[in-house]
Amino acid sequence: MKNRPNYSTLAVLATGGMLAAGCVVVPGVEVTALPTRIDYACAGGKTLPVARAPEQRMAAVLIDGREILLRAGESAAQEKYTDGQYSLYLDGEKAFLEENGIVLFGPCTSPVPLSKYYRTY
CATH of the domain at 83: 2.40.128.200
43-100 pLDDT tens trace:
999 999 999 887 778 999 999 999 999 999 887 778 899 999 999 999 889 999 999 9
Domain of 106 in residue numbering reads as: 34-114
Average pLDDT of the chain is: 75
Q: On the CB side of 85, how many CA atoms lie within 13 Å of its CA?
A: 3
Q: Is the entire prediction scored with pTM above 0.75?
A: no
Is residue 106 domain-resident? yes
Least confident of 21-30, 35-44, 57-66: 21-30
pLDDT exceeds cutoff 70 at 22: no
Q: Which residue has the higher pLDDT, 6 or 113?
A: 113
Number of domains in the chain: 1
Is residue 1 domain-resident? no
Of the pLDDT bands very low, low, confident and very high (cuts 50, 70, 90), residue 31 is low
Is residue 48 domain-resident? yes
pLDDT for position 78: 81
Q: List 88's β-bridge partners, or say none.
A: 81, 97
Q: Which residue has the higher pLDDT, 14 or 104?
A: 104
